[in-house]
Structure formats: C-alpha cells, structure tokens
Chains A and B, each alone.
Chain A
C-alpha cells in the first residue's frame, strides 16, 4: 500500500476526519476549498500533528498516536511541493536546489542535479533569485528542489493553480512523466477535475464535515 492514512485533525476551529488507502502511483485528493486538503498534506509531511490516527507511506509508519510514533518532518522522506513554491528568498535557484540534496544521505539520492535541471528545463534560471521567477518557473524549481532531497514520496499541492493554460499543460505533462518514469508514490491535491482525470489512478473525495 502506498498511502495508508486514517487521521483526526483539528486546525484552528476546523475539525475533520479522513481515512483512505491507495496503491495507485498517483492519488488525488479533491474537494472544495477549506475542507482540509492542504492540512492533510501537512500532516503527512509532519508539519501538522493530527489529534490522533495513523499515517503510513510506502510501508513506513510516519505517525501512529496509539504506538507513540511521530517522526519529525526531516525523517519522513516527503518531497513536498507547496502551492506557493516556498523557495528560500535569500538563495539563488541553484542553492535552493542544492538545499535538500546536501542533507540527503549519498546512498539515498536517486537523481542528480543535471538530470533535474534538464527534466524541468530550468538551466537558464540557476543564477537567479526566487523573486525574479514567474509562478510557473518557481513551481518547477520547487519540484526540482523536492526531487533532489531524495524523497520516498511526493506531495503536490495544487501544482497547476494560477498558471495560464500553456504553462499548466507543460507542467501537467511533466507530472505525467514523473509518474510514469519514477518509482515514487505521489499524492496530489487539486480542485480541477480535468487535471485529476488525466493524472490520478485513484481519487479521494473530501467532503465538508459537521463538527461532532
């Protein structure tokens, strides 16, 4: 099983429960905004702690409140591509890319900077600072940064949001290539059904829940 998630979440005033398993290479999490899709990604990445439950990805338990397991984010092996890219503003693109790579154990790395640069076509951006990038460029760099950190799985938060049609199409086919060429479970958050139909092997619908 790639993703095995069963959690009770409380974020500020909002509470929800979510339970799903998936062994598709790419699983999509869909639902209206505010339903808790991003919070779910944060919980899987270890940036938010669920009230209770269990999270396992590709056979490794990342969180289990019953067993007292709660791995810190840096031990989870998540390649998290944030919706706002979240590049480090004081580092050039090349240094953003290198950030996670340097921290990964050499024997865990499975892709090189050169491969990432040519796959994402970001060679001309390496010397630039993140402020100077367009939304699509920043997102490509963010994907590269995540891939280079030697992740065991990818989390993609609205990877195509706020991109014009041609750029969205480029990124969409890129995600298809990642899905088909890499041995890497992916969980994608989206509100676009077209995107989801084309990419996902399995779709998880999240619906608003009344507080218990």
Chain B
C-alpha cells in the first residue's frame, strides 16, 4: 500500500499533531477559563489575540513565529543561547506551528463547556469547605471534560491539516517537518507522483473526518449532559 517514505510522512504527521495538541491543551484550557470566568480590563483584547491565528493568513502566523522563535528571534534567540534549543526547521517547530494554529479552536470548545458549568455549583462546593482550587478540580474541571475532549479532537484535526504556518516557520524537510499536507504539496510539484498524492490525500481525508466525527460526538454528548445540569 504505502511506501516506507509515505509511512514516515503519516507517522510524522501523527507525532506532530499529537504533541501539538498535548502541549497546547493546558494552555488553551487556562485561556478558556480566564476568558469564561474572569472579568478584567483587556479581556476582549486577550480573546481577540487568541482568535488571531484563525483569521490571519497562516503564512503571516508562520512569519510571526519566525520573528519570535527563530534563532535570531526575541524568544528563539534566548532559547538557543540558554538551552541550545532550536525550533525552526525541525519537527518541534512543526508542532509549535500546528499548536498555535489549533489554539483558537481548542479555546472556543473549552470555553463553551466551562461557561456551561453552573457557577452556583462552585459556590455550593465552597460552602462545603472547598478551597477555590479544590472546587475547580472537583467541579469545574470534570464537568467541562467533554469540552476538553472535543477541543482536543478539533485541535488534532486542525493540526493534521496545518500547512501555511508550518512551511513558513518549520520549512519542508523530508522526515523532519514534511507532514501530510506538505508531502501532498511536494508530490504535486513532481511529475509522476499522482498515485502517491492520491494515497496521501485519502489518508488525510480519513484521519480528518475521523477526528471531526469524534469531536462532533463529544460535543453532542456534552450538550446532552448540559441539559441535565440543574
């Protein structure tokens, strides 16, 4: 079916998307909680910044990442000098690009499910002796779990499809940053690679559709349980 090189592409795509989602998940949840539950000046601005990767041309997001995280970038330069870590032109860079692009979708899903948790339940927990942190861990977090799962699946699907920011920031290096979309794009540039492109495209469709269906199912489940929250 697939050649070893194509298997490498699929495995790399899954690795990049998985790492991107796992690292982004706690950040996205933290942002979702702050936007859903806190009222502070600049909340709208934070919300807008979180959504920026959704509306910017992905190439611009990639370029911004290059400026910030490139070896001469504000953060990237520091990372390189302090830890010897480089994010550009390797698979971690691809994961960073995918995570940033997936962030808005993940925050949206998580925020909705946090907003659906009745705050008065948290108040009830507090009167029963729970500290704010304990109430969060035992009430808000478990009740917003469907949103976390849905956000993670959406983010995973978005990461699998990430192209523009990845090719700009992490480049198109076989075995390092050449994920499914980049491999398909590369195949389209080469004569005689039509069947390889078709195989990779089918895999991309199957993976994305699967992730989307799972996330849709999770959202439905969470809306069902929301109706039960009294």
B139 at interface (Cβ–Cβ under 8 A)?
yes
Whether A73 pairs with B228 at a CB distance below 8 angstroms is: no
Q: Which of B127, B143, B225, B229 has the most CB of A within 10 A?
A: B127
Which A residues from 29 to 87 make CB contacts under 8 A with B? Answer: 42, 45-47, 72-74, 76, 78-80, 82, 84-87
B residues 137-193 with Cβ under 8 Å of A? 138-139, 142-143
Q: Are B228 and A103 in contact (CB under 8 A)?
A: no
Q: A82-B120, A88-B139, A90-B143 are in contact. Are A73 and B230 (CB under 8 A)?
A: no
The reply to whether the CB of B131 lies closer than 8 angstroms to some CB of chain A is yes
User: Which residues does chain B contribute within 8 Å of A46, judged by CB atoms?
Assistant: 126-127
- In the complex, A89→B228 CA distance in Å? 7
Chain B residue numbers with a CB within 8 Å of A130 are 230
B residues near A47, Cβ cutoff 8 Å: 123, 126-127
Q: A86-B120, A88-B139, A89-B143 are in contact. Are A80 and B230 (CB under 8 A)?
A: no
CB distance from A69 to the nearest CB of B (A): 17
Complex contacts, A76 vs chain B, CB 8 Å: 127
Is residue B1 within 8 Å, beta carbon to beta carbon, of the partner chain?
no
A85 vs B125: C-alpha distance when bound (angstroms): 12
Write out the residue numbers on chain B whose beta carbons fall within 8 Å of the beta carbon of A84. 120, 230
Closest to A103 in B: B129
Q: Is A104 among interface residues, defined by CB-CB distance under 8 A? A: yes
Q: Is the CB of B134 within 8 A of A103?
A: yes
Known contacts A86-B120, A88-B139, A99-B138, A131 near B126 by CB under 8 Å: no
A190 contacts chain B at the CB level, 8 A cutoff:
no
Q: Which of B118, B120, B123, B128 contacts A103 (CB 8 A)?
A: B128
Task: Give the size of the chain A interface in residues (CB under 8 angstroms).
Answer: 29
Is residue A145 within 8 Å, beta carbon to beta carbon, of the partner chain? yes
For residue A79, which residue of chain B has the nearest CB?
A: B127
How near does chain B come to A30, taking the closest CB pair, in angstroms?
A: 22
- The answer to whether A146 and B230 touch (CB under 8 A), given A89-B143, A90-B143, A99-B138, is no
Neighbour of A82 across the interface among B124, B126, B130, B143, CB < 8 A: B124
| Given known A-B contacts A88-B139, A99-B138, A103-B134, A131 and B228 have beta carbons under 8 A apart | yes
CB neighbours of A45 from chain B (8 A)? 123, 127
B126 touches A74 (CB 8 A): yes
In angstroms, how far is the closest chain A Cβ from the Cβ of B128?
A: 3
| A80 and B126 alpha carbons, distance in the complex (Å) | 10
- Please measure, in the bound complex, the distance between the C-alpha atom of A86 and the C-alpha atom of B138, giving whole angstroms: 15
Question: Do B130 and A103 have beta carbons less than 8 Å apart?
Answer: yes
Shortest C-beta distance, B139 to chain A (Å), equals: 6
Q: Are A99 and B128 in contact (CB under 8 A)?
A: yes
Q: Does B121 contact A (CB under 8 A)?
A: yes
- What 1/0 mask marks residues of chain B from 5 to 49 whose CB sits below 8 Å from any chain A CB? 000000000000000000000000000000000000000000000
**Cβ–Cβ < 8 Å partners of B125 in chain A:** 88, 99
B121→A86 contact, CB < 8 A: yes
Q: List residues 83-120 of chain A with CB under 8 A from any CB of chain B.
A: 84-90, 99-100, 103-104
A104 contact set on B, CB distance < 8 A: 129
Output the least CB separation between B196 and chain A (Å). Answer: 48
Contact A73 B143 (CB under 8 A): no
Distance from B118 Cβ to chain A, minimum over Cβ atoms (Å): 8
B212-230 contacts to A, CB under 8 A, are 225, 228-230
Q: How far is the CB of B56 from chain A (nearest CB, A)?
A: 38
Given A47-B123, A82-B120, A86-B124, CB of A74 within 8 Å of CB of B129: yes
29 contacts between A and B (CB under 8 A): A46-B126, A47-B123, A47-B127, A72-B132, A73-B123, A73-B126, A74-B127, A74-B130, A78-B127, A80-B124, A82-B124, A84-B120, A86-B120, A86-B124, A88-B124, A88-B125, A88-B138, A89-B143, A90-B142, A90-B143, A99-B138, A100-B129, A104-B129, A130-B230, A131-B230, A146-B127, A146-B128, A149-B128, A149-B129
